[in-house]
Structure 1
Amino acid sequence: MTATNQPNSVDAQREEADAVKSALDKRVGSTLDPQVRLVRTPAVSRGDVPQFSGLVEALVEGAREIDYERPYAVLGGPGTGKSTVLVEAAVRHIVAGGSADSIMFFAPSKDAAAAMRAQIFARLAGDDDYASTGSVVRSVHSWAFAFYRAIRAAAGESSPRLMTGAEHDMAIRELLLGTAQDGNRYWPENVVPALSYVGFARQLRDFILRATERNVSAKDLVDYGERFHRPMWQAAGHFLEEFNQVQRLGVADNLNASELLHATLAALDSPEGQRIVEDQRAKVKLILVDDAHNLDPASAAFIESFMVPGVRTLIAGDPDQCVFHFRGASEDFLDRHAAHDDYRVVLSASHRLAPETAEAVNAVRAELPASSTRVPLRGSEHEQSPSIEMTEAATLTARHLQIADAIRRAHLHDGVAWEDIAVIVRSTGDIPALRRVLMNHDVPVTIDPTAVVLAEQPLVKTLLLAVEASYRSLTAAEVQDLLESPVGGADPVMVRRVQRAVTRAIRRARAEGRTLPQRDDGRPPQAADLLADYLVDPSGYEWVAEFFGPREITVVERLQAVLTAGREAVRERLSSEMVLWKIWQATQLSTRLQAHALRGGTLGAQADQDLDAVMNLFDLAGDFAERNPQAGVSSLVREVRSQELPTGGRDRRGEVPHAVEILPAHAAAGRQWRFVVVTGLQEDSWPAGPTVGGLFGQLELVDLVDRGIEPGTPISRMADAVHEERRLFLLAISRATDKTLLAYVSSSGEEALVPSRFLKDVAPVVASINGDSAEPDDAEGPDYRDHLPRVLAVEPLIAELRDAVMDTARPGHERHAAARNLAKLAAAGVYGAAPDQWWGSADPSCERPIIRDNQIWLSPSRLESLEECPLRTFLENQGGVAEDTEPMRIGILVHAIAEAIVDGLSVDDAHSLMSTALAAISEEPEWKLTQLQDEWREGIDKLHGFITSLQDGSTTLETEQKLTGCVGETDDGITVMLGGRIDLMTTSGGDGEQTETADTYVYDFKTGATAVSGETAENSPQLEAYQFLVTMDPHRGHAAGAALVYPRYKSKAITIRQQGARSEDTTEQFRQRVLQLAPHAAGPVFPALPGDHCQHCSVRLLCPAQPEGKQVV
Structure 2
Amino acid sequence: MPGRSMRAMTFQPDPLQARVLAHERGVLLVTGAPGTGKTAVLREQFARLIEGGADPERVALVVATREAKERTRDVLLQRLGTSLPVVRALTVHGLAFHVMSLRYRALRYDEPPTVLSASEQFARVARMLATERRADWPVYAAMLDMRGFADQVRQFVLRAQEAMLTPEELLQRAEASELHPWRELALFYGRYLDGLAAERIVDFAGLLARAAEAAQAAEPTLDHLLVDDVQDATAASARLIESVSSTSLVVAGDAGSHVFAFQGKTDRPLRRLMEPSPARESVELLTNHRGPASAAAWVSTHVSEEVAAVARELRRTHVRDGVGWDEMAVIVRRTGSHVGGLLRALDEAGVPRAVPEDGVSLLAEPAAIPFMLALRWVARPQERDALVEPLLTSELARLSPAAARALVRAARADGASASGAIDRVDGLTAEEAAGVRSLAQALERAEPLAERSVLDCFRELWTGLEHAKRLVAAASSGSDEARRDLAGVLALAGAVASASRWGSSCDPSMRATKVPAPPSLRAAGISAPCEC
Matches for 1:862-873 after TM superposition, within 5 Å: none
**Cα shift at 1:434:** 0.9
Counterparts in 2 of 1:923-962, with a 5 A limit?
Answer: none
Aligned to 2:370: 458
Counterpart for residue 431 of structure 2: 531
Which amino acid letter does the alignment assign opposite residue 433 of structure 1? G
Name the counterpart of 2:276: 339
Q: Which residue of 2 aligns with 1:240?
A: 189
Written as runs of structure 1 = structure 2, the 5 A alignment for 1:738-887 is none
Q: 2:244 aligns with which of 306, 330, 345?
A: 306
1:294 aligned residue (232, 240, 263)? 232
What corresponds to 1:91 in structure 2? 47
SS of the residue 1:351 aligns to: coil
Within the alignment, does 1:403 sit opposite 2:310 as a pair?
yes
Q: 1:231 to 1:465 in 2, by over 3 A?
A: closer
Q: CA deviation at 1:84?
A: 1.3
The CA deviation string for residues 511-559 of structure 1, in whole angstroms up to 9 with x for no partner, is xxxxxxxxx9xxx986x4333445677xxxxxxxxxxxxxxxxxxxxxx
Distance 1:614 1:168, change over 3 A: same
Q: Distance in 2 between matches of 1:432 and 1:215?
A: 37
The 3 A distance-change label for structure 1 pair 289 and 411 is farther
Task: Note closer, same or farther for the CA distance 1:85–1:131 as it changes in structure 2 (3 Å cut).
Answer: same
Q: Structure 1 residues 117, 575: closer, same or farther in 2, change over 3 A?
A: closer
Tell me how far 1:391 sits from its aligned partner.
6.8
Distance 1:343 1:132, change over 3 A: same
What are the equivalent positions in structure 2 for 1:442-841 lying under 5 Å apart? Answer: 442-445=352-355, 448=359, 452=363, 457-463=369-375, 478=392, 481-482=395-396, 528-534=428-434, 560=438, 563-564=440-441, 566-567=443-444, 574=448, 577=451, 581=456, 584-585=459-460, 587-588=462-463, 602=484, 605-612=487-494, 614=496
CA deviations 1:876-927 (Å, max 9, x no partner) are xxxxxxxxxxxxxxxxxxxxxxxxxxxxxxxxxxxxxxxxxxxxxxxxxxxx
Pairwise CA distance, 1:173: 2.7
SS of the aligned residue for 1:481 comes to: coil
Deviation of residue 480 (structure 1)?
7.6
- Residue 142 of structure 1 and its aligned partner are, at CA, apart by 0.9
Give the 3 Å change call, closer, same or farther, for CA 484–90 of structure 1 in structure 2.
same
Higher helix proportion: 2
Aligned equivalent of 2:100, options 139, 148, 155: 148
Shift in CA distance, 576/344, structure 1 to aligned 2, threshold 3 Å: closer
How far apart are 1:193 and its partner, in Å? 1.6
SS in 1 for 2:252: strand
**SS where residue 396 of structure 2 aligns?**
helix
Aligned match for 2:331, one of 414, 423, 429: 423
Q: Using the alignment, how far apart are the partners of 1:653 and 1:433 within structure 2?
A: 34
Tell me the residue number matched to 1:437: 345
SS of the residue aligned with 2:331? strand
What is the match of residue 214 of structure 2?
267
- Pick from 203, 207, 212: which aligns with 2:156? 207
Mapped contact 2:446–2:460 kept (Cα < 8 A): no
SS of the residue corresponding to residue 72 of structure 1 reads strand
Size of the aligned set, in residue pairs, is: 457
Q: Tell me the SS of whatever aligns to 1:346.
A: strand
Q: Is the 8 A contact 2:140 2:181 kept in 1?
A: no
Alpha-carbon deviations, 1:698-719, whole Å to 9, x = none?
xxxxxxxxxxxxxxxxxxxxxx
Q: TM-score by structure 2 length?
A: 0.69
Shift in Å, 1:195? 2.3
Q: How many angstroms does 1:347 deviate by? A: 1.7
Equivalent residue letter for 2:239: A
Counterpart residue identity of residue 175, structure 1: M
Deviation at 1:288, TM superposition (A): 1.5
CA 1:466–1:216 in structure 2 vs 1: closer, same or farther (change >3 Å)? closer
Residue 251 of structure 2, aligned match among 306, 309, 315: 315
Instruction: Give the drift of 1:103.
Output: 1.9
CA distance in 1, matches of 2:229, 2:147: 34
Does the CA-based 8 Å contact 1:74-1:82 persist in structure 2?
A: yes
Structure 1 residue 144 displacement after superposition: 0.8
SS of the equivalent of 1:445 reads coil
**Which amino acid is 2:85 matched to?**
T
**Matches of 1:169 and 1:477, distance apart in 2:** 22
Letter of the 1:435 counterpart:
L
Give the structure 2 partner of residue 1038 of structure 1: none
What residue number does 2:267 align with? 330
1:103 paired with 2:59, answer yes
Mapped to 2, the partners of 1:121 and 1:480 lie a distance apart of: 46
CA contact (8 A) 1:291 1:318 kept: yes
For 2:371, the aligned partner's letter is L
- For residue 108 of structure 1, give the secondary structure of its aligned residue in structure 2: coil
Report SS of the residue matched to 2:225: strand
Partner of 1:171: 124
Q: What's the CA shift string for 1:153-210, capped at 9, x where partnerless? A: 797734434444454344323322232xxx424212x431222334533443443333
SS of 2:330's equivalent in the other structure is: strand
Change (3 A) 1:287 1:588: same
What's the secondary structure of 1:423's corresponding residue?
A: coil
Q: Which has the larger radius of gyration?
A: 1
Superposition RMSD in Å: 4.8
Identical residues among aligned pairs (%): 20
Is contact 1:317–1:334 with CA below 8 Å preserved after alignment?
no
Mapped to 1, the partners of 2:240 and 2:459 lie a distance apart of 43
1:345 shift after superposition: 1.6
3-state SS of paired residue (1:172)? helix
Structure 1 stretches lacking a partner, 5+ long: 1-40, 358-387, 486-491, 493-519, 538-559, 626-651, 656-1113
- Equivalent residue number for residue 351 of structure 1: 289
1:1068 matched residue in structure 2: none
SS of 1:577's equivalent in the other structure is: coil
Counterpart residue type for residue 184 of structure 1: R
> Using the alignment, how far apart are the partners of 2:154 and 2:6 within structure 1?
46
Q: Say whether residues 1:52 and 2:13 are aligned partners.
A: yes
Take 2:51 and 2:312, find their aligned partners in 1: how far apart are those partners? 47
- Runs of 5+ unmatched residues, structure 2: 401-420, 476-482, 506-510, 515-532
CA change 1:98–1:457 in 2 (3 A) is same
Deviations 1:242-294 (A, max 9, x none): 323544576xx543332112111223355xxx14x2xx34xx2x332212222
Aligned AA (1:173):
A
Whole-Å Cα distance in 2 between the matches of residues 464 and 437 of structure 1?
A: 30
- Deviations 1:781-832, CA, capped at 9 Å, x for gaps: xxxxxxxxxxxxxxxxxxxxxxxxxxxxxxxxxxxxxxxxxxxxxxxxxxxx
Secondary structure of the 1:424 match is coil
Deviation at 1:582, TM superposition (A): 5.8
- Following TM superposition, by how much is the alpha carbon of 1:460 offset from its aligned partner in structure 2, in angstroms? 1.2
SS at match of 2:137: coil
Question: Secondary structure at 2:85's aligned position in 1?
Answer: coil
Amino acid at match of 2:184: A
1:79 aligns with: 35
What SS does the aligned partner of 2:429 have? Answer: helix
Q: Deviations over 1:680-724 (max 9, x none)?
A: xxxxxxxxxxxxxxxxxxxxxxxxxxxxxxxxxxxxxxxxxxxxx
Distance in 2 (alpha carbons) for counterparts of 1:234 and 1:168: 22
* Cα distance in 2, alignment partners of residues 78 and 305 from structure 1: 27
Contact 1:445–1:606 (8 Å) recurs in 2:
no
Q: Is the CA contact (8 Å cut-off) linking 2:338 and 2:364 kept in structure 1?
A: no
- Name the CA shift for 1:409/1:577 in 2 (closer, same or farther; >3 Å): farther
Contact 1:90 1:103 in 2 (8 A): yes
Structure 1 residues 119 and 461: alpha-carbon distance in aligned structure 2, compared to 1, 3 A threshold: same
Q: CA deviation at 1:139?
A: 1.5
Contact in 2 for aligned 1:222/1:234 (Cα 8 Å):
yes
Distance 1:397-1:94 versus aligned 2 partners, 3 A rule: same
What amino acid is the match of 1:457?
I
Query: 1:433-471: CA deviations, max 9, x gaps?
Result: 112223454423356566849999332124556899xx9
The CA distance in 1 between the partners of 2:92 and 2:243, in whole Å, is 13
